[in-house]
Amino acid sequence: MKTQFKVINRESRQQQIMNASEVARFFKLNTIRDYAVSTIKPTQEKFLETLLISCMSLLIIVLTTKLFVQWI
């Protein structure tokens, strides 16, 4: 997925969401110090990251419980 950028005008607080090529074209016409730029993490990658962390946590709990039960 392409990285998205949030461009905010410092005076009017108007927000625009653009991709990398649009940001490059935008700043050829406008000065960068008038705007604040931040990246937006794609939601699909965030979902996959959360799913992976959840699965790893569940695996650790199951293996720890199994080890504890065998020890008793």
Whether pTM > 0.85 for this model: the answer is no
**Are residues 36 and 55 located together in one domain of the fold?**
no
pLDDT recorded at residue 66: 94
pLDDT recorded at residue 58: 96
**Are residues 50 and 72 located together in one domain of the fold?**
yes
Residues paired with 16 in a beta bridge: 7
Instruction: State how many domains the chain has.
Output: 2
Ranges of the chain whose pLDDT falls below 50: none
Q: How far apart are CA 27 and CA 31, in angstroms?
A: 6
Q: How far apart are CA 53 and CA 10, in angstroms?
A: 37
- Residue range(s) defining the domain that contains residue 50: 43-72
pLDDT recorded at residue 41: 77
Q: Locate tokens 């997925």: which residue?
A: 1
